[in-house]
Structure 1
Amino acid sequence: MTATGAGQAYGIEALNVWCGLARLTAADLFAGRGLDPERLDNLMMSERSIGLPIEDPVTNAVNAARPLIEALPPEERARIELVVTSTESGVDYSKSLTSYVHKYLGLNRHCRLIEVKQACFGATAAVQTAVGYLASGISPGAKALVIATDVAVVDEKAEYSEPAAGHGAAAMLLSDRPRVLAMDLGAFGNYSYETLDSARPSPRFDIADVDRSLFAYLDCLKNAYADYAARVTDVDFTRDFDHLVMHTPFAGLVKAGHRKMMREQGVTGPRIDEDFARRVAPSLIYPGAVGNLCSGSVYLALASLLDSGVVTAPSRVGLFSYGSGCSSEFFSGIVDEQSAATVAEQGIGKRLEARARITFDEYLAVLEHNLECLVPVENRTVDPAEWEPLLDRVGDRPEILTFTGVKDYHRQYAWR
């Protein structure tokens, strides 16, 4: 295959994921809600991350990005010129949560700060825009920071979507030193149109049409790849991508998407399952333990692939990003053993294992508060001491930013 881009490489220099402090098994959530256990296997999930009331979209973003920023020497930190947050969990109609993130990361004041929204596609739109800025050459050596951050606001009314909901953030540092993912410049395909497959019409709840969402995801996967194939010479879905990484609302949907694409390439029978196990399954380990990370989902899956141990040589990855509403993109890049080593430095798997295990009853107590997380109020107090019994069960807890409340509509935070 041949893409149009050539020359200097650009892409993801560093990647980290923060997936909160607590977790609940999918089986316990199914049992607690009285959901049909026979449908649990369709999700292909073992557990999901649960946010505590001291966590919100700002703390998730900061806690994901902080290790990346602290690893930079001062002169490189000063080259961050663009900071973007992508979220479905905005905290204000005007003020971006990027402004809070910028403050608590201690970044220089010579930055563009913006917040973007397009459901689960927003982060990829920001990544591609940032790469285009860097590759333009108008500011040689510049870096950009893109953070996908969200919280779950679903309860029993969401039915089978509740066990799949995730919590956390994925942070990507972009530059001309793409140690994690070197983008295939010019190799991309888009497909977008208006539909109401899922949405968040209120800060307290989401809505979803499951069948329409399934159709839109599969439709966009097919047509975004077709647009990619129209731009890239002699590309073959079955041959030219060593690994596939896709937006993962739940792993079962990714499996359905892969099966559809393989069948359309003329592949049938056991060969589809063998290909799934080889090219796709390594990317689903982390999503199966976290849930849908919204626009960070595809980057959580990328981290999963790189931490799985299967990337030991230069390999091309095909990535698919989808956001309800809807907009999508199929793009690609190169990873290698340095990519795996760079992501391994973050200890993502270790932190996932360190999350506190909570019961269904404890989840209900947390959920009552979490549903108020994004509701605008003039004043509010969040007392961390109330959640200390759960915090004490978090293994090897690092210093993190915590949400402590609202004062005169201004959100308050503290390191803990």
Structure 2
Amino acid sequence: MPHVPQIRIPATYMRGGTSKGVFFRLTDLPEAAQVPGEARDRLLLRVIGSPDPYGKQIDGMGGATSSTSKTVIVARSNQPDHDVDYLFGQVSIDTAFVDWSGNCGNLSSAVGSFAVSAGLVDPARVPQNGICTVRIWQANISKTIIAHVPITEGEVQETGDFELDGVTFPAAEVQIEFMDPADEGEGEGGGSMFPTGNLVDDLEVPGVGTLNATMINAGIPTIFVNAEDIGYTGTELQDAINSDPKALTMFETIRAYGALRMGLIQHLEEAAKRQHTPKIAFVAKPADYRSSSGKSVAASDVDLLVRALSMGKLHHAMMGTAAVAIGTAAAIPGTLVSLAAGGRARDAVRFGHPSGTLRVGAEATQVDGEWQVKKAVMSRSARVLMEGWVRVPGDAF
């Protein structure tokens, strides 16, 4: 019986923040996959090992969680004053679907390092020792990200003593700036950070009730609700949510009605095809709890508690883009995030998540009645885990 041989494609497997993904240079992809479309999606699905009805992604590079079912494509930028273009694809685990609707904030921290190592940044801009400022155009959402990549002896420095809750081992610190993070594209607010025009809305969710909700477009479209309004404390770990099918259905229902209210979808059933955005999160005032690693987090360690879901499951730590939304909302008095953090204006916030704590900074100003945030800042780390080639059957795309 004739068979189709496998082909190999240059790729790098990287951790960025609390996520992992397969990174490609655009020009290394097969020609048919160098442009958006079915061939690209089918290729990335096969690389990651989806769709997998077993939910394990055994026959691919995915790790069977939303944090590890990710792909990145990087190219030299045609945008003025940018080094590279960065495109993120969130690969569904059990369905044949790649979601291109948003960014991954965690993997953003690896893009600068990958770009330097892959020769995509002008060598004249890479110091022998010091910090290389990589100007990244985030192509999914048309935003600028600045990555401050440490360089030692002309090479990207990956090892160090920076510790990040949710990541087992320390590494080199990479500071990331999300410039002008408010979404300008979608929603009935016509480009407003708050697409409904309100800091808090009454969101009617059939079968759940009417919930107070802050719906914000910053970093990634996010719906925040109060933990106590849906029967939680904000100290929950993954098993408390992910092992409860009724809870997951409730959160997806809230997310779908929030997406409709934000103008991200026109019909409720469209939410199933837009799994990556918006995110759904719940907030609470500070409280003592024990993180997933067994580390004690005291109420005095944080300004508030946040738990967020990604691709239908509670995230083990916090999505980087959702952290941008948290920092932005915390900087604006009157949002549910700000109220949970004490209600005062602040330019940085430390929040508790299932794996520990994270600090994110953002400065908000009001101009002609509209809230604006020039940038949000956080520190992450990144590391190459493996590099070489991925292999896929030649007829996979």
Question: Could you tell me the TM-score, scaled by structure 1's length?
Answer: 0.25
| Higher relative strand content | 2
Return the structure number with greater helix share.
1
Answer 1 or 2: higher relative contact order, Cα 8 Å, separation at least 6. 1
